[in-house]
Each structure stands twice: as structure tokens, then as C-alpha cells.
Amino acid sequence: MSRALHLLLEQLDNKERKAAAELGAAQLQLQQLEQQQQTLNQYQRNYSEEFQSRGREGLTSHQFGHFQGFINKLEAAQEQQQGVLQQARLQLEQTRTDWMALRTRKQAIETLLARAAERKQVESNRQEQKMMDNMAIYRFYNQKKR
């Protein structure tokens, strides 16, 4: 059984490392998407400020339509990016859950192996003590016979 548990532990260790790498990649992807969202938001704010500034100076209907159309496209891009961000957050949580499950399972196997090793050591110590006791008794009787 111990050999099977060691093999299982090795497999779980490999899966856990892979899951940890996937978790790191998902975290990095989320950070990059959040940075893109911030950049898009900043660009939209800057463009809106430019629109307001030029509006005070006076805009033709064509310029107004161009600015308003572009702002609408930016807002649509922001909404789309928000959806992508939400999916990335869900993916990150699923990846984290998968990693935690593997980690918990691996720790359970490690605990089982540690307990088995401890029981084996206790039994070995008990056998050794019994052997030492028997030797002591043997010596004691041999010395009495002399």
C-alpha cells in the first residue's frame, strides 16, 4: 500500500505543480486584462475631456458626430472588456479551487504516509526493545548458570 501511496503522491505533486503554474498564469492574465481596462478607461476619460474642451470652443455637427461616435465605440469596448474581465475572474477562481483541491488531497496522502511511517517506526522500536529485553534475560540466565 505504501508504494501505491508514494506513486499517488508523486502524481498529485506533478498535478499540483501544473495547477499552480496555471493559477499563476490566470493571475497574470487577470492583471493584464485589468491593466488594459484601466488604460481603456483613461483613454475614454481623456477623449471625453478633449470633446468637452473642443465643445466649449464650438464644434460643427460633423465634428460633434465624430466625437460622439468614437466615445460610443470606446464605451462599447469598455463593456466588452468588462465581460472579458468577469470571465477571467471566474476562470481564476475555478483554477484556484482546482489547485486547492489537489493541494488538500496531496496533504492528506502525505499525512497518511507520515502516520504509516510513524506506526512502522513504533513497531520497529517495539521489536528492538523486545529483542534487547530477550538478550538481557538470556545474559542474566547465562550468568546465573555459571
CA 87-43-93 angle, to 5 degrees, is 15
Give me the DSSP letters along 43-94: HHHHHHHHHHHHHHH---HHHHHHHHHHHHHHHHHHHHHHHHHHHHHHHHHH
CATH number at residue 127: 1.10.287.1700
Say what the pLDDT of residue 141 is: 83
Domain count, the chain: 1
- Residue 124 confidence (pLDDT): 95
Kindly list the averaged pLDDT for each block of 10 residues, start to end, along the chain of length 146: 88 96 97 96 90 84 88 93 97 97 96 93 95 90 78
Helix or strand run (H / E) with residue 18: helix 2-57
Of 135, 82, 106, 79, give the one whose Cα is nearest residue 5.
Answer: 106
List the domain range (segments joined by +) for residue 52.
Answer: 2-145
Question: Measured in whole angstroms, how far is the alpha carbon of residue 87 from the centre of its chain?
Answer: 17
